[in-house]
Amino acid sequence: MKIDPIYKKLTEAFGISSREEDIKTIVLEEIEKYPNYEIVKDNLGSIFAYKKSKNLNAKTIMIAGHMDEVGLMISDIRPNGAIKVIPIGGLIPEVFISQLLYVHTPSKDIPGIIGSVPPHLSKDQKVSFEDMVLDVGLKNKEEVLKAGIEIGQMVLPKTNFIYSHNQERVIAKAVDNRWGVGMALELVRDCYDKDYEFNLAIGATVQEEIGLRGAGTITYKISPDMFIALDASPLNDLLDPNASGKMDEGFLVRLYDPSNIMRPSLFSYFKEVAKNNEIKHQIYFSKGGTDAAKAQYNKDGVVSTTIGLPARYIHSTVSMFSIHDHMSAHKMIRALLNDITNDKITYLQEN
C-alpha cells in the first residue's frame, strides 16, 4: 500500500517557520500544473489555488495545510566553533541529543551533532536548549563562517520517508504538517476539472507553528465562509490506551481544542457525512490548536474546524502515521466537498 509521491518530496524538504522557501517552491510548482486556478498569495508567503464559482452569490470554502515544521535556528557562533541554537515551535530538547543534524546553507547542507555528554562528564542535570551546542567539526568561528554557516539558518535532521515493515504505516519527519500540504495538493489536482456552486480556495499557510500567523493574513485576504485545516495531531496510544485518538481508527473529528470548539451543528454535520459515506472516524480532544483557531476570528467569524491525521511522535525528528487513517481523511474531504452547498454553509453559519 503506497501513497502519492508528493508526501515523500514534502517531508524530506527543509522548512521551519519563516524559512519555508523550499516548500513554497514545491507548492507553486504543483498548483501551476493546473492553469484554471487563480494563484493567491499574501505577504507572509501563504499560497492558494482559487477557483471562483459561476454562482454570483457563492460562499467561499478554504482548505489549508501548513508548510512549516518545527526545528532549530542558529542563534550564535562561539569563538571555539560551537554553534548555539534556539527552538522554532514547540520542542522538547531531549529529542535532539545524540542526533545527526544539518545546517541548511544556500549552497549545501553541513552535518553536525548535538552531542550527548557521557556519564563520566555530565552533572546529571536536565537538558535545556541553553546548554546545547551543535558541533560541526570545525576548529573555530572563522572556519564556521567560511563554510557558509550564519546566524538565522535552520538546523534539521535528514530523515528519509519510508514505509513500515507491513507497508501500512509511514515513517517520516515533518508529518506535522507536510501531510496537510500534500493532502491539499492532491485536492488541487482532483478538483481541477470540477465545478462547484461555491468558491474554493485550496493551499498552504506559513508560520503556523509559531502562532498561526499565516492563517491570519491569508484568511483576511480570501475572506472564507468556511475554513478546514488539514493537520496532523498527536497520539499517545501505545503508552496510554485511554488517550484521545488511536492509530488505524480513522481520521480525527476535532471536537475540542483550547482555541476552537466545533459548534454542535458542524459536529453533527461531519458525523453525518462520515457515516453516510462509510468513512472511519474518531472524536478527538486536543491540547493544541491548528490554523482553524486563527481562521475563525476573521472579520465577523468563520465556520472553522480541522480534519485531523492521527500521528505518533510529532514535534520530534521522526513521526509515524497509518495509511488507513490517511485514506479516511482523503475520503472525508472529498465527501464533504461533494455534499456541501451554499445553503448548508449558511445553515452552519446561523446555527
What is the identity of the amino acid at 29? E
Residue 138 cell numbers, joined: 570545525
What's the pTM value of the predicted model, to 2 decimals?
0.96
Angle at 33 between CA 29 and CA 38, to 5 degrees: 90
CB burial of residue 237 (10 Å; 0-12, 13-18, 19+): middle
Helix %, strand %, coil % of the chain (to 5): 30, 30, 45
d(CA 30, CA 138): 39
pLDDT at 308: 97
What is the spatial distance between Cα 286 and Cα 133, in angstroms, rounded to a whole number?
A: 33
Q: Are 291 and 220 in contact (CB under 8 A)?
A: no
Question: Nine-digit cell at 10?
Answer: 514534502
Report yes or no: 233 and 309 within 8 Å, Cβ to Cβ: yes
Question: pLDDT tens digits for 70-125?
Answer: 999 999 999 999 999 999 999 999 999 999 999 999 999 999 999 766 554 456 56
**pLDDT, position 120:** 45
20 labelled catalytic: no
DSSP codes joined into one string, 221-272? HH--SEEEEEEEEEE-TTT-TTSS--TTS-EEEEEEETTEE--HHHHHHHHH
* 351 residues of the chain, pLDDT tens digit each: 899 999 999 999 999 999 999 999 999 999 999 999 999 999 999 999 999 999 989 999 999 999 999 999 999 999 999 999 999 999 999 999 999 999 999 999 999 999 766 554 456 567 889 889 999 999 999 999 999 999 999 999 999 999 999 999 999 999 999 999 999 999 999 999 999 999 999 999 999 999 999 999 999 999 999 999 999 999 999 999 888 999 999 999 999 999 999 999 999 999 999 999 999 999 999 999 999 999 999 999 999 999 999 999 999 999 999 999 999 999 999 999 999 999 999 999 999
Q: Which residue among 69, 208, 209, 249 is the active-site one?
A: 208
Sheet with 71-77: list strands edge to edge: 83-88, 71-77, 154-156, 99-104, 109-114
